[in-house]
Amino acid sequence: MRFVPQSSSTQTIAAVLALALLGACGSRADNGATTQADPASDAALNDQIMVDPDLANQNEGSGALTGAGERSIPVADRSPQAIAAAKREAAALVGGEGALPPVPAAREVAGEIPESATLSAASRAALSPGGANCGDGVQYSAGWAARLPEALPVYPRAATQEAAGNDTGGCSLRVINFITPVPLPDVLAFYHARAKGAGYSAEHLRKDGDNILSGTKGGAAYVVYGRTVAGGLTEVDLVTSGR
């Protein structure tokens, strides 16, 4: 099953769920392909994100929660001082700047993701734990950004654009999209260090323009899709499951 975006406010997360699900199947279709979504998926993807301002800055990374669809960060937040402050906060969360070594070089992947790839295992663990269809029951709310696993928060001072999750049945799915002015290599280094420090495995792939970090720890999993977008900003789609 693939997910097809049904409204502009949920388009990004719908696309991420599609990528993660296809990763779980060991393949990824062309971006231009479209298929039918089932009614349960349509209903979930038509829900609007409800932004709760009281949740701003409450996640470990102090990520500001912004409205859905807004792809900008206040100019002040892009200043060298703000970027340096975000980097310092990120380093503090991994034990200091010396604990943030560069991420190992990405392995380029063309065509299907191998079944043996960590990404395939992580996607299955996130979306189908125990055979559940966790992507079908996602709910959209900025509050999900504050309910990420402790080891994998929103990057410090980043702006959350969209957030969704599912805690029904055997699911503990989180899907967060955020923007930060911190360069992509620094963001990837943060998640690599956090994941390894928490006992997750880590694999770095590059496919279709995305840098993808993924890993598992028992029944828990994470996938980080990162890319550089207009204005030199870093956009990240963070998918987690379990604690």
Is position 1 within any domain? no
23-77 pLDDT per residue, tens: 555 433 333 333 333 333 333 333 333 333 333 333 333 344 333 344 556 655 8
Is position 20 within any domain? yes
213-226 pLDDT per residue, tens: 999 999 999 999 99
Residue 221: what are its φ and ψ, rounded to 5°?
Answer: -155, 160
Cα angle: 173, vertex 38, 45; to 5 degrees: 50
Indicate if the pLDDT at residue 168 is higher than 70. Answer: yes
Put residue 73 in one of left, alpha, beta given phi > 0 → left and psi -120 to 50 → alpha.
Answer: beta
* Structure tokens, 145: 């950004």
What per-residue confidence (pLDDT) applies to 117? 87
SS3 of 111, please?
coil
What per-residue confidence (pLDDT) applies to 212? 95
What per-residue confidence (pLDDT) applies to 10? 53
Name residues whose C-beta falls within 8 Å of residue 186's C-beta, 6 or more positions apart in sequence.
87, 90, 100
Is position 44 within any domain? yes
* Structure tokens, 200: 């997750």
How much is the average pLDDT of 104-114?
88
Based on the structure, what is the number of domains in the chain? Answer: 1
Between 29-38, 79-88, 106-115, 131-140, the lowest mean confidence (pLDDT) is in 29-38
What per-residue confidence (pLDDT) applies to 17? 72
Indicate if the pLDDT at residue 199 is higher than 50. Answer: yes
Is position 3 within any domain? no
Give the dihedral of Cα atoms 42, 226, 181, 165; nearest 10 deg: 40
Sign of the torsion formed by the C-alpha atoms of 89, 212, 240 and 201: negative
Is position 198 within any domain? yes
pLDDT above 70 coverage of the chain, percent: 70
How much is the average pLDDT of 9-31?
55
Q: Please, which residues bridge with residue 36 across strands?
A: none
Is position 2 within any domain? no
What per-residue confidence (pLDDT) applies to 63? 40
Name residues whose C-beta falls within 8 Å of residue 205's C-beta, 6 or more positions apart in sequence.
106, 107, 108, 109, 113, 117, 119, 211, 212, 214
Q: Please, which residues bridge with residue 197 across strands?
A: none
What per-residue confidence (pLDDT) applies to 113? 83
Nearest residue to 16 (alpha-carbon basis) of 222, 184, 167, 195: 222
Is position 115 within any domain? yes
pTM of the model: 0.76
What per-residue confidence (pLDDT) applies to 75? 56
Is position 110 within any domain? yes
The range of the structural domain enclosing residue 195 comes to: 8-241
Average pLDDT of every residue of the chain: 77
